[in-house]
Chains A and B, each alone.
Chain A
Amino acid sequence: DAGVIQSPRHEVTEMGQEVTLRCKPISGHNSLFWYRQTMMRGLELLIYFNNNVPIDDSGMPEDRFSAKMPNASFSTLKIQPSEPRDSAVYFCASSLVTPGQGWPREQFFGPGTRLTVL
């Protein structure tokens, strides 16, 4: 398996533009997580899905952020409009969660998307 795939790897955009980050989880995994990493705030969970359904989006900063998972093999994180403070590395991770086997299970992270908003 190729692991978790994220695209693009780097994105530079101007304030006010729409940004879409993409993630392909590991085949067979049923949970997907979006994280943001900055020097100031460290690694923060933004949202996670289980079986394509958003379970916890309490970490999404504000209405400018939205995430979707239309099927088991694809997810997007969209920022509209983007602001300089959104500059960060965004990670996608996937996991196989089986009821009754404990939480959280091992998460497999993608390489991340480094976003710079000018």
Chain B
Amino acid sequence: DAGVTQSPTHLIKTRGQQVTLRCSPKSGHDTVSWYQQALGQGPQFIFQYYEEEERQRGNFPDRFSGHQFPNYSSELNVNALLLGDSALYLCASSLHTGATNEKLFFGSGTQLSVL
């Protein structure tokens, strides 16, 4: 049973560029959340996708956008990259139950470096 898979594992971009990160959820899961983890910090919630729609959003600018596909996989797009966007980007999947305490399973992340 495959867990959450993310690609690529590492990425180097320059300021002003755009980047797309990809995530496949754990088998049987239908909800995908994205988190940003800066060095030495805990993960911060970016947004969550369910039924191909953004359901919740954290305190991130519009430069951060996403998409969920019919097979539940997801993409995170970041435009006009800033040096401060350098971080580990984590995808987490869960099964939507309507409860407020769905358990998240995380991928290993994509390490993004902006030069």
Decide whether A and B are members of one complex: no
Binding site for B on A (CB under 8 A): none
